[in-house]
Structures are given as structure tokens and as C-alpha cells.
Amino acid sequence: MKAEIIENEGNSARVLLKDFKVSLVNAMRRAVINGVKTLAIDDVTIYKNTSSMYDEILATRLGLIPLKTPIELKEKGKFSFKLKEMGPKAVHASDLIPSDKDVAPAIPDMLIINLKEGEAVELEAETAWGNGAHHTKFTPGHVFYHFYPKITIPNSKVKGAARIAAMCPVDILDGEKDTLSVKKGKLSDCILCKACEDYAGSDVISISSESDKIVFEVESWGQLTVREILNEALSTLEDEVTEIGEKV
């Protein structure tokens, strides 16, 4: 399988795959979702909660906060957070006080609870290591793939090209001066929704895909970098294949 990074910005990346087996690409996707170990809050002791939010809901919300997971701390036991706040206050993930600064919330602005005047929460939360097969809160990000788009415009001079271009939800079509085209370097952004084709007709713009190319997309929730996610997922996949090989 050949891989070429077509975009790698911040927390997301897109990789163009060629010479692949779809079953292997899907195994990679599943390995990202189910096989990568991350940290998440797993055990909450609530000392005080006079807010209108039930303890169980509060604990669930804490569990869903993505925590930075330094790979070097892998399997190194548990970490904890303390929270003690009094209303009126919007309590965010950044208000959690970590036992280790390297295991801070990945999205500090994430809202946990809105405390009204006089309401208070006081709690301690402990983390656990896990993967998406254990609980979805450990899943490190969003991952999906699709075939590489193919857009055919038989005649670029089209009356009302601007209106056709405006139908595109990801803004990859150019329709200036009644000339319809795909913006430079934007073809792989096409999500194959066919909104343009449905509007203008397949004789004006036709959407299909190339079955020998796949765009594999990963967006991290912030626990790990995309590179770490892919490396961990592939290593999990390798371990599983080796184990099967040894058993048969």
C-alpha cells in the first residue's frame, strides 16, 4: 500500500492511499476507533454537589473530557483531578486541577457545568487507561475514509456557473464569469454529496469516484497527535495479526 499525506494541519490529517485492500483500510479505521489506548476520567468521588445536575450526569460529563495522553506515560498507572467550585460560575475543563500537569484536559474551554448563585461542587476524579473497545470515551478521534473524487465538467463554459458553485457545501467549485471549474488543490475535499450534479444535471457536471484511490481521514480529539494515533493503531493491528499467526 502506498500512502501520501495530502493535508496535515493541527489535529487532523488526510492521507491518500493507493494499491490498497479495502479490508485492510477498514481494519486500520477500526484499529484507530477500538485499539488505541488513551486516558480518561473513570472514577469520580463527589463530596458535594448542590447544583441541579445529577451526580451521575456530572460524572459522565467528566469522563467525556479528552485528556492529553503523553505516550511516554503509557500504562503508568492512574492520575487524578480535583475540582472545588462555587457559583455563580461556568465551570470549564481548565478548572480541573491535575495531579500531573502533563495529563491536563486537551480542550480547556469545554464546559462541565453552569453553577448558579450559592451552588457548589467538590469532587475528586481518577483516570484509567482504556481503548474504544472498552468504552467510546477512550476513542482518540474521528476516523473515516472515502474513495478519491472524480469530477467531470465536459464544457467549462456554463450559464449560471456561479449558482452551481454556490450549491457546493465545501466550497470547492469556482463559477466566476460563467466558467465552471474545481478550485486548484481542492478536488480531494469533495465529499461526493452530488448536490452540484443534482442541481445542474450530469451533462453539466458529473460526480464519480476513483476506485483505486482512497482518502483516509483522521481527526484527533486532542489526547494524542494524529501521527501517534496512526502509529499506535498500526502497532495494535500488527500485534493482533502476529497473535493470530502464532495461534494457527
Closer Cβ to ligand SF4, 85 or 174, answer by number: 174
Residues near 49 by beta carbon (within 8 Å), at least 6 away in sequence: 55, 58, 120, 121, 122, 123
Which parts of 163-192 interact with ligand SF4 (CB under 6 A)? 167-168, 170, 172-173, 190-192
C-alpha cell at 102: 502533563
For residue 211, the 8-state DSSP code is E
196 counts as binding ligand SF4 under rule CB under 6 A: yes
C-alpha cell at 186: 481542492
Contact pick of 16, 25, 110, 207 for ligand SF4 (by CB under 6 A): 207
**Cα 134 from Cα 248, distance rounded (Å):** 26
**Cα 168 from Cα 78, distance rounded (Å):** 47
Cis preceding linkage at 108, omega within 30: no
Residue in 56, 30, 68 with CA at minimum distance from that of residue 236: 30
Closer Cβ to ligand SF4, 64 or 167, answer by number: 167
In whole angstroms, how close is the CB of 68 to ligand SF4 at the nearest point?
A: 34
202 counts as binding ligand SF4 under rule CB under 6 A: no
Closer Cβ to ligand SF4, 130 or 175, answer by number: 175
Contact pick of 194, 219, 225, 234 for ligand SF4 (by CB under 6 A): 194
Closer Cβ to ligand SF4, 93 or 196, answer by number: 196
Footprint of ligand SF4 on this chain (CB under 6 A)?
151, 167-168, 170, 172-173, 190-196, 207
